[in-house]
Amino acid sequence: MKMSIKRVIITEFGSPDVLKIVEEKSLPEPKSDEVRIRVMTTSAAFTDTMIRKGKYRDVKDKPPFSPGYDMVGVVDKLGESVTKFKVGQTVADLTVIGAYSEYICLPEDRLVAVPEELDPAEAVSLILSYMTAYQMLNRTAKVQSGQRILVHGAGGAVGTALLQLGKLLDLEMYGTASESKNELVTSLGATHIDYNSEDFIEKVLSMTNGEGVNFVFDAIGGDVLKGSFKVLKPGGTLVSYGFYQSIMGKGGNVPLDFIRLLFWKIWPNKRSATFYSIGSLRNKHEDWFKEDLTELFNLLAQKKIKPTIWKRMPLSEAKRAHELIEQAAVQGKIVLIVSNQT
């Protein structure tokens, strides 16, 4: 029986240097409605770097705390009133914070069962990145087979997920990414546009006979967001879901982008705009969250999807993982391995 646990914490908001490993002398104890989970995998995502910098609106906690937006683990102990799960079962959650830890206690109502046969590294890749992609395609945009989409940041974690799920839906796809990600984006079935050397508006319009696309998925913001609205077909929708440029200090203004989105939504010009947030949609529709994650686990079990895992790194290398994300070096996803035993 393990008597101490290791966690990675944020000591204060700031650079990757604020991520530190700490050891605690006892395991956390589950409350009555909670289960204790031995975490197998979590991930390092751009969103975790925002939380680390104190730039994520939905996290009000003050350091020190453990980040970790998602996790897959094994149930290790049950609270007195738990009925839905058994010790030894594999479970998943979108934790938002807390998963950079060997053990975590979570309310049973939040958890989704993970099929035993899945690789915990592939399974964890589905919780934040694929869910975001899946819900934007199916719940927000409600895309139809044969429609045309433009994905910005197409070589990133959400971008690669959008392309893989888009291919399953038989979409015509265009993806912006730097030249280093050309091969990856092309291999996932999209036409690659190098945003550093090409004007994506001109390129998309010229490749679609001036028509444009049905949907744009944009987490970049700023000038890119303005261009995204310009490449929509009549009847098309811009789905905004992040502000990469502004978070990275490369321009853009988040409040102004929200005003633009609102204006485009209400302005009667046959095109529309909306914002997707995984947390807000889960708060409104916990049932959709569980249904959609279960469907993604099924797609993985049926080998219809295969997450692009760029690196598997031990939790102790969380700092390095965050540095690589902020350098845009990652192609797809970085998974953090917390424990190897299943």
Give 93 or 102: the residue with its C-beta nearer to ligand NAP: 93
**Which amino acid is it at 333?**
K
Taking CB under 6 A as the rule, does residue 224 contact ligand NAP?
yes
- The secondary structure element, H or E, covering residue 265 is helix 254-266
Q: Which residue is nearest to ligand NAP (CB)?
A: 156
How many residues bind ligand NAP, per CB under 6 A?
Answer: 32
Taking CB under 6 A as the rule, does residue 220 contact ligand NAP?
yes
Residue 172 and residue 146 in contact, taking contact as beta carbons nearer than 8 Å: yes
Taking CB under 6 A as the rule, does residue 39 contact ligand NAP?
no
Contacting residue, 95, 132, 228, 246, with ligand NAP by CB under 6 A: 132
122 to 154, 175, 251, 307: CA distances (angstroms): 19, 23, 34, 6
Give the phi and the psi of residue 179 in degrees, each rounded to 5.
-55, -35
Residue 334 and residue 324 in contact, taking contact as beta carbons nearer than 8 Å: yes
Residue 230 and residue 208 in contact, taking contact as beta carbons nearer than 8 Å: no
Taking CB under 6 A as the rule, does residue 184 contact ligand NAP?
no
Binding segment for ligand NAP among 21-29, 203-211, 240-248, 256-264 (CB under 6 A)?
240-248
Taking CB under 6 A as the rule, does residue 138 contact ligand NAP?
no
Cis peptide leading into residue 268 (ω within 30°): no
Give the phi and the psi of residue 337 in degrees, each rounded to 5.
-90, 120
Closest contact distance (angstroms) between CB of 48 and ligand NAP is 9
Closest contact distance (angstroms) between CB of 89 and ligand NAP is 27
Taking CB under 6 A as the rule, does residue 43 contact ligand NAP?
no
Binding segment for ligand NAP among 10-18, 107-115, 152-160, 303-311 (CB under 6 A)?
152-160
Give 30 or 156: the residue with its C-beta nearer to ligand NAP: 156
How far apart (Å, rounded) are the C-alpha atoms in residues 302 and 106?
28
Residue 1 and residue 27 in contact, taking contact as beta carbons nearer than 8 Å: no
Residues forming the site for ligand NAP (CB under 6 A): 45-47, 50, 128-129, 132, 152-153, 155-159, 176-178, 180-181, 195, 219-220, 224, 241-242, 244, 276-278, 325, 328, 330
